[in-house]
Amino acid sequence: MNMRLLLIFLGIVSVLIANQNLAFPKDYKEGVLYTSVIRGGVIEDIYAPKEAILALKEGKNLPDQTIITMEEYANDAGVRARLNRYIIMQKQGKEWKFQAFKADKSLNSAENTTRCLNCHKSISGEDIVFSLEAMKSYKGE
C-alpha cells in the first residue's frame, strides 16, 4: 500500500471510531448506585464504578473510560414503576460520549446525542457530570 492510500485508510478508520456507538455497559451494577434523583415524572438511579468515586475523593478527575449509567423509571407517587430507558456517558480522554438505550438494553439510535453533550457542556471543567458532588460525597463502601 502506498503512503497516500495508507493515510486515506487511517482517516476513514478514525472517522469510524469517532462515530462509534457506545455498547450497553452490561457490568454497571458492579459499580455503586451513588444517587437517585426524582425529576417530575421519573426516578433516576445513577451508577458509577467504585474507582471513579475513589478518584474524586482523592481530588482527581474521573479516570479515562469511566462510564456513568442512569436507569430511568416512571415515577408512581415516589415508587419506581416501569423502567423507561437507560442513558450512559463515557469519558474518552478528555471528551465525553453519550448514548441512550431502550428498556430492553438495545441501542436507541433515534436519540440525538449532540443534544446530550450540549446540555452537559453547561458544566465547567473536564467532568461534565451534573451529579459530581453526589458522587464525591457518596458514603457507601
Q: For CA atoms 57, 59, 63, 68, give the dihedral sign.
A: positive
List phi, psi (to 5°) of 65.
80, 0
Closer Cβ to ligand HEC, 32 or 68, answer by number: 68
How many Å apart are CA 37 and CA 43, to the nearest integer?
6
Closer Cβ to ligand HEC, 32 or 87, answer by number: 87
Q: How far is the CB of 83 from ligand HEC (least distance, A)?
A: 15
Contacting residues toward ligand HEC, per CB under 6 A: 37, 39, 44, 46, 68, 70, 87-89, 98-100, 111, 113, 115-116, 119-120, 129-131
Q: How far is the CB of 77 from ligand HEC (least distance, A)?
A: 18
Q: How far is the CB of 123 from ligand HEC (least distance, A)?
A: 8
- Three-state secondary-structure class, residue 20: coil
Question: CA-CA distances (angstroms) from residue 137 to 44, 53, 54, 76, 83?
Answer: 18, 9, 10, 28, 27
Closer Cβ to ligand HEC, 11 or 41, answer by number: 41
